[in-house]
Amino acid sequence: MQVNLVNENSVIIYFSDTVCAETTDEITYACQLFRSELNDTLSDIVPSYTSILLSCNLRKTGLQNFVINVRRVLNQLGNVGLTNLVRNKIVLPVYYGQEVALDHRDVSLHTGLAFSEIVKLHTEECYRVFAIGFTPGFAFLGNTPKQMTIPRKASPRLNVPKGSVAIADRQTAIYPSQSPGGWQVIGRTPIDLLDDSEECLSKFAMGDEVRFESIDKQTFLAMGGQL
Amino acid sequence: MALDIVQAGPLSLLQDLGRYGYQDVGVTPGGAMDTHAFHWANKLLNNPANAAQIEITMGPFKACFKQATSFALCGADVVATLNGNKIIPWSSWFAKAGDILEIGYPRQGLRSYLAVSGGFFCPKTFGSVSTVMRNKLGGLSKKGSKVANGDIIPFIAKVQPHTRKVPQQFIPEYKSVINIGVLTTYQFHQFSTEAKKTFFNELYTVTSEIDRMGYRLKGKPIEFAQQSFVSEGIALGAIQIPANGQPIILMRDRQTIGGYPKMGCVCNRDLNILAQATPGTQIRFFEQDLYEAEAELHQEQHYFFKGNNDRDY
């Protein structure tokens, strides 16, 4: 694995050319190791589908030393394997009712599947967090079953409601806050995904396992969901 | 003990050096756009390097000191007055209780940094004061709101024994044609020889689509063969080349990941110059050695953080 310089205090490491659960596992584990081994020389870490961007604090280390330490951790990663990988499991309740599944018609039309079938497919799969970005706590989850593949909307919505569960290509995601967005909305979760009182801010972390569970309208409202 | 904002202007934001350690959950670092001016404003007042300031984009700006204090103004070339008496940027001044500070529209440059002795007192959200409007984080409200007319921004009144000036050689000139150093990293080597030649030989113009997230440039398009690209972490100063071939330079409030190929990164020193560039400014790119750039940044940080308590940042 190569450590590529990026700027005065950052390097990027590419783990693979393909987006898959194995790559995600490797990256998740590497992130855990980097955090524990690089301590306060590490200022930021940005994992994504196939890479990790690492930034160092130049008041604690020089770039050359940082690269040496990053290589050392990577060697360690090769020796230990993924046996120690800690993986969070999250089950998220979703109300798939028509009044919140804003794009249920388009999704059914495009896939040729009844919306009940879409819900079944969406809840049967176990997803992994491949990356987090776009907005705080916006997790890119994959892969969705092939039958429900659908492109993004031709023109994005200006305001996707908070908690909206959506699909695009072979991925699914939840909008943690109201924002513009072009994904096809199929439901809504009553769960708050952002917590600015907590140290972790986001419910999701890279590599987490996520499942969706269908709930009825009453449960959705009882859990604090907003229509 | 506060600054009363009479006229906030189009975009005034409380800023420090940024919010670190949350990019893995999609939170942008943010922070002062021109760290050179920001660092000097705190240095003039013997403040901690990360003490909160007001970043005033454009202007006009008007405020009243409710208590006597020392303050500093760095950055854009502006006409500024204290009770109608002209004051010059890149220096510190005394203000008495009731004094009115007015900052006009810049003649050159884009952003002014206003610091008070001890820094503005503002609660931190996730370790930083920095206001990121898009992420609804930071600032007085902690919810990402900009400084507004009628805001009362607290500080602990403290008058420094002297006023000071930044030595002339450290005061940048904001020219209409600027040279910008590029670290040839990321996908630089995957671009064709022709594309690299275009990038370094042509002039690129700063468009009006510039904000704290990114600066969109316009010039001869740069071609890149590969169409789809897996999203990866975006470092400060990354030069994205989207399908239309027009470069976008990613600044402090950038998104954390993105799926465009990148020509490399603008070096830190020249990002500060770019942060002051107005639409129409022309850019000539040149290749900058990475380790030289790192040494320069290292030296700068050493100077500005000297004697500082690190735990604050």
**Residue ranges making up the domain that contains B182:** 177-301
Residues in A 140-199 with any Cβ partner in B closer than 8 A: 140, 177, 196
Facing A46 at nearest CB: one of B23, B134, B268: B23
**Which chain A residue has its CA at the smallest distance from B305's CA?**
A59
Together in a domain, B194 and B281: yes
Contacts with B105 (C-beta within 8 Å, 6 or more apart), sequence order: B58, B59, B60, B78
Last residue of a domain, one of B108, B138, B171: B171
Of A43, A48, A196, nearest to B232 by CB-CB distance is A48
CATH code at position B264: 2.40.100.10
Q: What is the predicted pLDDT for the residue at A64?
A: 96
B302 CB neighbours in chain A (<8 A) are: 59
Report whether pLDDT(A85) > 90.
no
This prediction's pTM: 0.94
B183 shares a domain with B151: no
- The tally of domains found in chain B comes to 2
Residues B295 and B163 in one domain: no
Interface test with B, best of A3, A4, A5, A6 (most B CBs within 10 A): A6
Omega before B85 within 30 of 0, i.e. cis = no
Say yes or no: A207 contacts chain B, CB-CB below 8 A: no
Per-residue pLDDT at B95: 96
CATH code of A64's domain = 3.30.1360.40
User: Residue A83's pLDDT is what?
Assistant: 67
Residue-wise pLDDT tens digits, B196-229:
999 999 999 999 999 999 999 999 999 988 767 8
Cβ–Cβ pairs < 8 A, chains A and B: 136
Q: How far is B25 from chain A (nearest CA, A)?
A: 5
Average pLDDT over residues A146-159: 92
- In tens, the pLDDT along B99-135 reads 999 999 999 999 999 999 999 999 999 999 999 999 8
Q: What does the alpha-carbon distance between residue B289 and residue A92 come to, in Å, rounded to a whole number?
A: 49
Q: Which among B24, B27, B231 has CB closest to A49?
A: B231
Structure confidence by residue, pLDDT tens digits, A120-139: 999 999 999 999 998 999 99
On whether any CB of chain B is under 8 Å from the CB of A132, the answer is yes
Mark which of A24, A53, A80 sits at the end of a domain.
Answer: A80
Which residues does chain B have with pLDDT short of 50? Answer: 310-313
Q: What are the chain B neighbours of A47 within 8 Å (beta carbons)?
A: 24, 233
Question: Does the beta-carbon distance from A133 to B26 stay under 8 Å?
Answer: yes
Length reported for chain B: 313
Amino acid making up residue A34: F
Q: Are residues B165 and B27 in the same domain?
A: yes
Q: Is A5 on the interface with B (CB under 8 A)?
A: yes
Residue A87 confidence class, pLDDT cut points 50, 70, 90:
confident
CB contact under 8 A, B185 and A204: no
CB contacts, 8 Å: B256 with chain A:
46, 132-133
- Smallest Cα–Cα separation from B302: which of B54, B59, B49? B49
Q: Is the pLDDT of residue A105 over 90?
A: yes
The last residue of a domain, from among B141, B171, B201: B171
**Is any Cβ of chain A less than 8 angstroms from the Cβ of B189?**
no
The verdict on residue B311 lying in a domain is no
Please tell me the distance in Å from B27's CA to the nearest CA on chain A: 5
| Residue A127: Cβ-neighbour burial (10 angstroms; 0-12, 13-18, 19+) | buried
Contact of A31 with chain B, judged by CB distance below 8 Å, is answered with yes
Identify the pLDDT of residue B226.
75
| Domain termination residue (choose one: B171, B201, B218) | B171
Closest partner residue to B233 (CB to CB) among A12, A59, A136 is: A12
Number of domains in chain A: 2
Cα A148 off chain centre by = 19
Minimal Cα distance from B253: which residue of A? A135
The region, left, alpha or beta by phi > 0 then psi within -120 to 50, assigned to residue A86 is beta
pLDDT > 70 in chain A, percent? 96
* Alpha-carbon distance A155 to nearest alpha carbon in chain B (angstroms): 18
Is B69 part of any domain?
Answer: yes
CA dihedral B208, B212, B214, B220 (to 10 degrees): 30
List of residues 6+ apart from A119 with CB closer than 8 A: A96, A186, A187, A214
In a domain, A227, yes or no: no
Closest-CA residue of chain A to B126: A199
Note whether residue B294 is domain-resident. Answer: yes
- Residue A192: the pLDDT is 93
Q: What residues of chain B, 63 to 122, have a C-beta less than 8 Å from chain A?
A: none
Residue A206 lies in a domain: yes
Residues of A in contact with B238 (CB under 8 A): 6-7
Q: Do A201 and B27 touch (CB under 8 A)?
A: yes
Minimal-distance CA residue of chain B relative to A137: B25
Domain that holds residue A134: 89-222
Tell me, yes or no, if B23 comes closer than 8 A to chain A by beta carbon: yes
From residue B218, alpha-carbon distances to B117, B123, B166, B278 in Å are 41, 39, 34, 13
Query: What is the CATH classification number for the domain harbouring A106?
Result: 2.40.100.10
Tell me: do A178 and A211 sit in the same domain.
Answer: yes
Whether the complex's predicted ipTM surpasses the cut of 0.85: yes
Q: What is the mean pLDDT of chain B?
A: 95
Residues A63 and A93 in one domain: no
A46 touches chain B (CB under 8 A): yes
Q: Which of residues 214-233 of B touch A (CB under 8 A)?
A: 230-233
Task: Say whether both A118 and A194 belong to one domain.
Answer: yes
Kindly state whether residues A93 and A169 are assigned to the same domain.
Answer: yes
CA distance A114 to chain B (A): 31
Q: What is the per-residue pLDDT for A80?
A: 65
Query: How does pLDDT run across A170-224, given as a tens digit for each residue?
Result: 999 999 999 999 999 999 999 999 887 766 788 999 999 999 999 999 999 999 9
What would the DSSP string read from start to end of B159-204? --SS--B--GGGS----SEEEEEEE--TTGGGS-HHHHHHHHHS-E
The answer to whether the CB atoms of A131 and B231 lie below 8 A apart is yes
**Does residue B307 belong to any structural domain of this protein?**
no
CB contact under 8 A, B26 and A136: yes
A73 and A8 in a common domain: yes
- Helix/strand/coil (H/E/C) assignment for every residue in A143-171: CCCHHHCECCCCCCEEEECCCEEEEEECE
Q: Structure tokens of B17?
A: 């050096």
